[in-house]
Structure 1
Amino acid sequence: MSPRVTMRDVARAVGKSTMTVSRALRDDQTVNEQTRAQVKQAAQSMGYVYDSTAQVFRTQKSGFVAVTLPSVNNANFAETFRALSNGLEAAGLQLLLGSTNYRVEKEEQLVRQLLARNPEALILTGGHHTEATRALVQAAGVPVIEIWDLPSTPLGHVVGFSNFDAMTLIVDHLVGQGRRKLAFVGASDGADLRGAARREGVIAAARAHGLPDVTLIDAGPAPVSMRHGRSAIEALGTDVAQFDALVCVSDPVAFGCLSTVQRMGMKVPDDIAVTGFGNFEVARISNPAITTVNVDAQKIGETAVSLLRDVFDGGAETTVCVEMGCSLVAGETS
């Protein structure tokens, strides 16, 4: 294995001091433009990677923002991450990502590790955290933004929406079409807290309309997907015919349910309605197209970036809560 190229090696190659090379790589304007270009060209050709550790100690700025996401496989979370990454890169910052797999205990572990790297800000997906996580964040003294939720006791700034309230859109729509016997298909209790809020939102909205109790269909541990929706309906068998509508925690789960009831010979929406959540691509290309709730995942990321830049510029001194709207996308499955 070849030895790692050092700053001293670059300095020798260009005939400059290591201090000059260091300043050139940091775009220090005290080094003339020609020298900066010469140093950068030499560093690139030699495969030198600038070690920013010393700069962190000098400036107390690491150049990155830490973010936690429940999953990197979820298309909506991936879209939010792209918006965060693109927006912060334009501001000269990079993202350091940690995946919680929908578990607050995992989030606690990640937050501890991420804060050890001295991030300039922390973006957490969701508003439910362990007490240890809350203590770590509050002691860190860095800007915090919670996204994709509206926590009752926020740790800092918030860019999100109420998963509970969003389900009223679905239930109101189904009731308007004469549906009365609803079943909710979602993950087991415990990990998916946003999914749990959607479940409770369906139950509350159904009660407000005077409907019979919503039947809860457990699709398995989070994260649940198309195959979980399929398996849940296969396990239910012909008993699924007792329901007027399957209200699913997400579009992938809805697609799994939809394809399964169709294979069983049921007509959608004539025999049973199927709804999802998230306005994923699968909902739009499905045949029939799935009725869902649109959440602007990209806008959540862009708004978080805008808010964070305000914080860095000295604005947003008090807690800011930006509530994002949701809208019903009436497809062909209801």
Structure 2
Amino acid sequence: MQDVARAAGVSPMTVSNCFRYPDRVQEKTRNAVLKMASEMGYVPNLSAGLLAAGSSQVIGAVLPSMRNSSFYNYTVGLRRAAAERGYQLITMIAETPEEELAAVQSLLGLRVAGLALVAGPHLPELRRLLDRADTPVVESWGGEQAIGRGVGYDVGAASRQLTRHLIAQGRRRIGFVEVSGGGGQRYSMRLPAFRQEMFAAGLADDLVLTVRAADGFGAGARIVDEFLARDARLDAILCPTDVVAVGAVFECNRRGLEVPGEVAVAGWGDYDIGRQLYPTLTTIVPYADEIGTGAITVLLDPKLRAVAAPLRTRFALEIRQSA
């Protein structure tokens, strides 16, 4: 650090701030220091500060998947908000509760300053571990029973709004796709809200198909096949993700079913492919980047962490051509 400071004509503290608190250093000075550090092969020794402080300038995030573009946008929000506060982000992928527990153990071993989890089925051992650990935790897409504080939009309200829209379009035999297994409140709060709206409209809610995975265009084709086998009067499908919905539109096209004339198709997540598809896809916009930003904000503010109610972020119903 002293070598870099001498070469750049600044103090060692300025070099330290360029890496730990970049917003405290003027951009011209910061760029000069980082350029000199790169040329000299300097990498800051984070372990020294960690040993002194007992914690790090690192936030740990555990994701159940990166196949879902909502998690990509969520990670963008996490990374941007952490960087603005002088923190780095470490992400780990854990597709099972057992892998999630192992990832959290690893991140706690690194003495991360906070942990961002995603709502889903957690092992009891994970809750016990985090209850004993002195590390701030948030649960993104979490609700009242979240580990730490929940951060996310009202999934039930989004499901109700989308269902009401389909009913208002004159749809009466609406197929709903439920996702079992993982996903937590990202999926579990949708079906009860759908059924409430169908009941309020005096419509049957029996066209519910349960799948174990919510990704893959092929899932959309299988869903259309099964719904039509159960009821040829099907006139709308509410899919768990935009990818599944696009697959359903492809299958309707193969069958000669007009979308939305004969069958309306709605997705969830506002993926780019839904905007490029014809017809463009009606969907729920979850603003996942805002969930990431909110998670960092809560993690680094003790007053916000002390609030019991979840921190609610935005969502929107984006009405396009498919429904």
Q: State TM-score, norm by structure 1.
A: 0.80
In structure 2, give the amino acid aligned to 1:73: R
Instruction: Note if 1:95 corresponds to 2:89.
Output: yes
SS at 2:177 equivalent = strand
**1:135 partner amino acid:** R
1:124 matched to 2:103? The reply is no
C-alpha spacing 1:287/1:41, structure 2 compared with 1 (3 Å):
closer
Q: 1:224 to 1:40 in 2, by over 3 A?
A: closer
SS of the residue 1:241 aligns to = coil
Q: Structure 2 counterpart of 1:88, which letter?
A: A
How far off its partner does 1:100 sit? 2.5
Change (3 A) 1:226 1:104: same
Q: Partners of 2:281 and 2:35 in 1: how far apart? A: 53
SS at match of 1:332: coil
**Number of aligned residue pairs:** 305
Counting aligned pairs with the same residue, the percent is: 27
Distance (Å, rounded) in 1 between the aligned partners of 2:313 and 2:101: 26
Pairwise mapping of residues 1-334 of structure 1 onto structure 2 (< 5 A)?
26=16, 44-101=38-95, 103-126=96-119, 128-150=121-143, 152-187=144-179, 189-193=180-184, 194-219=186-211, 221-234=212-225, 241-311=232-302, 315-316=303-304, 318-319=306-307, 321-334=310-323
CA separation of 1:40/1:282 partners in 2, compared to 1, >3 Å: closer, same or farther? closer
The Cα of 1:55 is off from its aligned counterpart by: 2.1
How many angstroms does 1:42 deviate by?
A: 7.8
Query: 3-state DSSP class of the match of 2:268?
Result: coil
TM-aligned CA distance change 1:96 to 1:325, over 3 Å: same
> Could you list the per-position Cα deviations for residues 218-267 of structure 1 after superposition, in whole angstroms to 9, with x for gaps in the alignment?
44x32422222123334666666331211101111111001111111001
What is the root-mean-square deviation of aligned Cα atoms in Å? 3.1
Letter in 2 for 1:71: S
Specify whether residues 227 and 186 from structure 1 end up closer, same or farther in structure 2 by C-alpha distance, changes over 3 A only: farther
SS at match of 2:62: strand
> Is 158-167 or 118-127 further displaced after alignment?
158-167
Deviation at 1:44, TM superposition (A): 4.2
CA 1:38/1:307 → structure 2, altered by over 3 Å: closer, same or farther? closer
Is the contact made by 1:159 and 1:324 (CA closer than 8 Å) also made in structure 2?
Answer: yes
Aligned residue in 2 for 1:17: none
TM-score, normalisation: structure 2: 0.82
Output the CA distance in 2 between the equivalents of 1:223 and 1:109.
24
CA distance in 2, matches of 1:268, 1:27: 56
